[in-house]
Structure 1
């Protein structure tokens, strides 16, 4: 049964009370202090929270944001030296140069700062802010007025920077990235601790080749870079494989790609023989034709995302990646899931996350076989269309014959998140497909003791049987379940009641467009949940 509502801790009660009275009491108290010290700098007046521990201060800010009670004046009071982490994404509309100056003066100990969408802060104010934050390890400036000067300042004043997000910053050009990783005056490579750089949205000012050259420069110049987010990264990696450096033109004050390559070789003598290997762990949007070269340059990949457009021997290219744990594959060509069986046969046991989109399975048993080869999954996602364009089954199975089939149970001891979606809801599934999918779901329910999140969308067959078989006493199925989202599910209120009042950790239950459940029945269920004081939110649309 879901957790019963518990009495809040004294700490949470105090924080909630402070949040509720912030505007009517604490802002007035702060204003009074400011008036008494009218001859002092306004930013030196810290108000009544200067003695609050940094962790509690961060919790109070989070509580105010969740309750939509945070205002500029309240935020001004809470910008204090003990803050280590500050996220202003949810209040970006009123964060401008004035508040930025307050952060600059008061919050010099920040190690993490998020200013996503804070586009009212001028670049000069960002420069002064960055200069004042030498301990920054994580900085998010996406969709701001960040420009080349800001990146140069990060290079010079933030030696510990490890994560930087500058996506969709319109004032940046590809050459701006060069100023982040190299100091033309000192003639030195910088930001050598940078591990994650998100620069998507940065587009070429002249031609795509200039952008590719900059990405190659960054990849070679940053020895610890494990994640570079930009859609042209696969092509840049291939240029490094081909070593097409001589023809690339760089701005006059920066080294040529050949010189950067020499620098890379001098700092990585183990690479030898002119072959470069990068520490990248994740690459997205990989064209399948580039996979062999990417595999050679990036042997440590753990996450790869790609769209397949034809049938080919994918297995021979992913087999060497012994660190690969997350495979995200899609197809726009209705490829058969059978094409992936050699891959999962070889590396299925090492996969922790598997996401598949658009694959059909003409052989009804292929899906079951594929899952049986991936027993160690933490997360699985599958969006699948009808097996045939007209919904016809490949063999004339009848309902009775389909129901006599027996499948060995699938066991997922570590599975936490399971998502299954049929995205051709108007097209019926043949009987055997329904039986196969029903058996798979029953196995997932019964033999996934760690399952916390379950999403089932548009499945065109009743779900009652799979749930009821799994929950039949003395079952221990779904005891870890916390979130269940059903969209257009063919499920009865009896099964929903069984789920809600079974032994589990359920706190969110979404029944979107579940038209088999009447509003009156749902209201009756809500009333019982309230009477038993259960901590579960039930939503129906």
Structure 2
């Protein structure tokens, strides 16, 4: 039988109690402090939490944020000097210039600050905020009023910055990025410790080629940049490979690309034959035609994603990346999954993350073979059309093969997250496909001892047999399972009972549009869970 509800630690219970009574009790206590010190600076009043350790204060703030309890008054109480990390993402309704000023005055020791969607903070207030936080290593200003002057301030005052998110800042363009990495007044390069930069969704420039050249400047000027998220990164890398810098015009006050290239060479004297290499670890949406050049410039890539329209020599292109661990491939051309087998045969054992989207599989055994190449996955995400959408019909010889088939089990000793979704909800599934898919699911359930997250959406076959076989006593399957999401699943209440009341760590169960489970059975299940005092959230809609 599963464990009952976990008894929270005294520390956690105290923090949750404080959160529940913050508005009714602690705001009043704070107001009393304010009245007693009416002649003092309002921002100097710390209230009853000034002695709380920074880690506990951060946890209390996170509880308040998750439960949507935060208000300007509450934030004013909890914004204290001992905070090292502050997450105000999605708090745009009450985070404005006044609270930004309070952070500026009180929270000078912050190393991480997240203000995503806090659009009410004006650019001038962001500038003052950044000036007051020299210890920042991570800063999220996505979807804010961040402008070019804010980036210049970050370059000048945040000398330790390692991660910056400026996605969807409409007051920024690609040209603004130059002010992040170079000071035209001092004639010096900045943000030399920056390792992660998100700059997608900025205001586009009218000149595509100029945008590419600006990104080349950024890539060459930041020696430690490992993650750069921008739509044009693959094309900019190819310009670096070609070294077509002559005559490239930069805005007034900035060095030419040839000068930046010489700066790069001076900081990387060991680069072979004048070829530049970048420390990038991840690139998204790489066109297949650009792979050879990207491979030459970025030999240390760990993660790539591609939209494929053909797979010509793909396995040979990815072979040089001996460290590649994350592979995401999609197609809008209904390509056959079988064409990926040479790729997984070559690099499958090194993959930790695999995502496939839109591939059909005409041969019933292709998916099983492909997964057998990838035993060391931590995450596997498969969005596949139903085999029926190929026009493939069940044949008598296939029925006979299905009756006699015995596939070896797949084993995933490190798998933590598995998602399988069929694009088209089609039933019934041909017998041979059904058997192969059932074997794959049973293997995932039985031979993935670390599995925590399982998502199965719109699969055109019953899930009962695979689950019941895996959980048949004395099974140890799914003991680490924490989250199970089923959508349009053909599954019975008997199997759900087996999952709920088996030995596992299940905390969340979603049964969206599982029409084989009646409302009566669902309500009875909820009643039994409450009676047994199990810590699991069950949702149907």
Q: Same fold (TM over 0.5)?
A: yes
Is the 1:233–1:283 contact (alpha carbons within 8 Å) kept by the matching residues of 2?
yes
Q: TM-score, normalization: structure 1?
A: 0.98
Judge conservation of contact 1:203–1:211 (CA < 8 Å) in 2: no
* Alpha-carbon separation, structure 2, partners of 1:502 and 1:381: 25
Query: Do residues 376 (structure 1) and 376 (structure 2) align?
Result: yes
Equivalents in 2 of 1:497, 1:189: separation in Å? Answer: 62
Query: What are the within-5 Å matches in structure 2 for residues 191-210 of structure 1?
Result: 191-210=191-210
Partner Cα separation in structure 1 for residue 45 and residue 7 of structure 2: 36
Q: Is the 8 A contact 1:453 1:483 kept in 2?
A: yes
Partner of 2:188: 188
Number of the residue aligned with 2:19 = 19
CA offset digits 1:342-371 (Å, max 9, x no partner) = 111110000000000001111111111111
Q: Which residue of 2 aligns with 1:414?
A: 414
Q: Once the 2 structures are TM-superposed, how far is the Cα of residue 173 of structure 1 from its aligned partner?
A: 1.9
Would the aligned equivalents of 2:353 and 2:377 in 1 still touch at CA under 8 Å? yes
Higher relative contact order (CA 8 A, sep 6+): 1
Contact in 2 for aligned 1:265/1:272 (Cα 8 Å): no
User: 2:475: which partner in 1?
Assistant: 475
RMSD: 1.3
Displacement, 1:186?
A: 1.4
Corresponding position: 1:493 with 2:496 = no
How many Å separate the matches in 2 of 1:166 and 1:331?
29
Structure 2: unaligned runs, 5 residues or longer = none
Shift of 1:402: 1.1
* Contact 1:65 1:90 (8 Å CA) reproduced: no
Aligned to 2:158: 158
Q: Alpha-carbon deviation of 1:202?
A: 2.0
Distance 1:233 1:390 in 2: 36
Q: Distance in 2 between matches of 1:234 and 1:214?
A: 13
Q: Can you list the C-alpha shifts for 1:76-129, whole angstroms capped at 9, x where unaligned?
A: 111100000001113221111101000000000000000100111111110000
Tell which deviates more after alignment, 282-291 or 2-11.
Answer: 2-11
1:61-140 to 2 correspondence within 5 Å?
A: 61-140=61-140
Deviation at 1:3, TM superposition (A): 3.0
Q: Name the residue aligned to 1:222.
A: 222
Structure 2 contact 394–431 (Cα < 8 Å) conserved: no
1:46 aligns with 2:46: yes
Question: How far apart are the structure 1 equivalents of 2:403 and 2:418?
Answer: 24
Q: Distance in 1 between matches of 2:314 and 2:382?
A: 19
Q: Which residue matches 1:282?
A: 282
Q: CA deviation at 1:72?
A: 0.7
Structure 1: gaps spanning 5 or more residues: none
1:416 & 1:405 partners in 2: Cα distance? 29
Instruction: Give the secondary structure class of the aligned counterpart of 2:200.
Output: coil
Q: Distance in 1 between matches of 2:261 and 2:388?
A: 51
Matching residue of 1:36: 36
Tell me how far apart the structure 2 counterparts of residues 142 and 248 of structure 1 sit (CA, whole Å): 30
CA distance in structure 1 between the partners assigned to 2:425 and 2:44 by the alignment: 61
- The equivalent residue for 2:364 is 364
State the distance in 2 between where 1:19 and 1:485 align: 30
Contact 2:170 2:203 in 1 (8 A): no
| 1:536 pairs with 2:536 | yes
Structure 1, 225-234 or 59-68: larger mean CA deviation? 59-68
Residue 253, structure 1, aligned to residue 250, structure 2: no
Alpha-carbon separation, structure 2, partners of 1:388 and 1:470:
27
User: CA–CA distance in 2 between the matches of 1:328 and 1:519?
Assistant: 39
CA displacement at 1:24 relative to structure 2: 1.7
Please say if residues 507 and 535 of structure 1, whose CA atoms lie closer than 8 Å, have aligned partners that are also in contact. Answer: yes
Q: Could you tell me how far apart the structure 1 residues matched to 2:527 and 2:399 are?
A: 39
Which residue in 2 is equivalent to 1:297?
A: 297
Report what 1:232 is aligned to: 232
Give 1:436 deviation, angstroms: 0.5
- 1:453 is matched with 453
The residue number in structure 1 matching 2:5 is: 5
- Determine if contact 1:109/1:135 at 8 Å carries over to the other structure: yes
Task: Report how far residue 395 of structure 1 moved.
Answer: 5.5
For 1:401 and 1:376, the matched residues in 2 are separated by 30
Q: 1:7 Cα shift? A: 2.4
